[in-house]
Chain A
Amino acid sequence: MSRRLAARPRLNRPQWALSIGAALAVIGFVGAAQWNSSIARQEFITSAQRVLISEAQQAQSQQESLRSQIEEAEAQVRGFQEQAEGSATLSTRLSEQVATARLATGLEAVRGPGAVVEIADSQRPVPADENASNYIVLVDDLRDLITALWASGAEAITVAGGGGAGGPGERLVSTTSIYGAGSAILINTTLLSPPYRIEAIGPDGLHDRFLAHPSYITRVAKRIDAYGLQFASEPRDELTLPAFIGNTRLRWGAPVAEAN
């Protein structure tokens, strides 16, 4: 006895044709928008800018290479110092002192409780009569947030661009500058782009103190409200921050020997 399978309902031809048609219209719209935006960007770049952009990109890739060589060399030096541990009392004590000094000065990766702060450009449309730069994260915003965190008791801070997706972040040390060139922000030697993610390790209550600190409230919090800069922060039980990678050599000065 044969049994016929029930006939499957056939898709109504005009219905799926309409769906495809609508989808193709969306593709056309999005494709055109994308094409237009890339054309618009290209149109305003002069040849001088193109040369400078290429030089900036070369400098960035050279920097990446130098930083990775420095990281390797630092590890080698630490290796020599660790080998010395246990070999003699003085060596051991010195190695411990180097480790403590590195910890205190941002040259060692650290972990502990703290706070995470993220800030990104506004997604509000910029009104015709307003300055577009009000709607993007400015170097002053980052400086204010970092000042508020240090002043609230942070012991270690990193700043990452791209919301942290681009890498572990730049550890802030005694020589760190936070520098704005147009809409680009340079921290240590690295160019970062929004969203910016700031991670800070510090004692209990760091996050609450940060949100109540005048360096946060006075300017950046007002800009967040006024222009819709995207902002989020939260306390964390455990964060791990990388060590600073860069030059730690004094170029113009020499240490003053301690009077014992």
Chain B
Amino acid sequence: MAARIAQLSLFGVAIIIGLLLVGQLRSQARPIELSSLTAQELSVLVETLSARNVELADGLADLIEQIRDYEISQARGQSEVVLTAEDLERVRAFGGLLGIEGQGLRLEVEGSFDPTAINDLINELRNAGADAIAIDDIRITARSVAVLGTDAIEIDGQPIGRTFQIRAIGSPEGLRAAIERPGGILALLQQSVDARFSTTEERALEIPPTRRDLVPQAASPVE
């Protein structure tokens, strides 16, 4: 009887140790440690998350409208060709397969850039909500990254000179505020790569489609 009690006690103790150890190990891992962020970092994060949610809500509203249009079209016995053609344009423009026009920001850039600096600049413009970006005549797609080529920095196999132009379609004021904020990307790059920037808010910009074939060769759709 005593041995049985001892075994049960040991079993119980082992379970408690196991649970505590797992808890301790998990607390050592780094989950999304919001509590470790400073008030300033949290404030930026909340602002960013809220802005993204507004974008998502706008996108959802457009989708709901699109669904309604399809339903009306079906109810009236009309063809959905026009609606599908519009959707095709939208998808192609989103991914960089079609040119885009609209308001935005133009940056004239000069400096001894490294590829990372250019990639950081692109990332910052995306983060500020740019719909589309081009560097000189190169449309930036998901797969476009600046790398060190044989003689110069290249994006999608095309060289970038010491002086280049970036065009971004988006809120002109929003894009400008995001990159020109104190301690922001332009301030950092002015220090780190000795770069000079001139920014202009534009009411009418045009960005070309990519020249790259983006249809994947190794990846195939999941049926």
By a beta-carbon cutoff of 8 Å, the part of chain A in contact with chain B is: 8, 10-11, 13, 16, 19-20, 23-24, 26-27, 30-31, 33-34, 37-38, 41, 44-46, 48-49, 52-53, 55-57, 59-60, 62-63, 66-67, 69-70, 73-74, 76-77, 80-81, 84, 88, 90-91, 94-95, 97-114, 121, 136, 143-144, 147, 150-151, 154-157, 161-162, 172-179, 181-184, 186, 188-189, 191-194, 201-204, 206, 214-215, 219, 240-241, 246-258
Contact = CB atoms under 8 A, between A and B. Distances in A.
Interface of B: 2-3, 6, 9-10, 13-14, 16-17, 20-21, 23-24, 27, 29-39, 41-46, 48-50, 52-53, 55-60, 62-64, 66-67, 70, 74, 79-81, 83-85, 87-104, 115-116, 119-120, 123-124, 126-127, 129-132, 140-145, 147-148, 169-171, 206-207, 214-222
A188 B50 CA distance: 13
A142 B121 CA distance: 16
Contacts of A105: 91-92, 94-97, 141-142, 214
A248 B91 contact: yes
Nearest to B99: A256
Contacts of B142: 105-106, 150, 157, 172-174, 176
A103 B41 CA distance: 36
Given A100-B215, A194-B29, 17 more contacts: A20-B13, A27-B13, A27-B16, A30-B20, A34-B24, A41-B35, A49-B39, A62-B53, A73-B66, A91-B79, A91-B80, A143-B120, A177-B123, A189-B52, A214-B147, A219-B116, A250-B100
A23 B56 CA distance: 52
A161 B29 CA distance: 12
Given A98-B88, A113-B218, A155-B218, A251 B36 contact: no
Nearest to B20: A30
Nearest to A108: B221
Contacts of B95: 101, 104-107, 173-174
B64 A73 contact: yes
A11 B20 contact: no
* Contact residues of B: prevailing secondary structure: helix
A95 B83 CA distance: 11
A250 B171 CA distance: 11
Contacts of A70: 56, 59-60, 63
Nearest to A185: B32
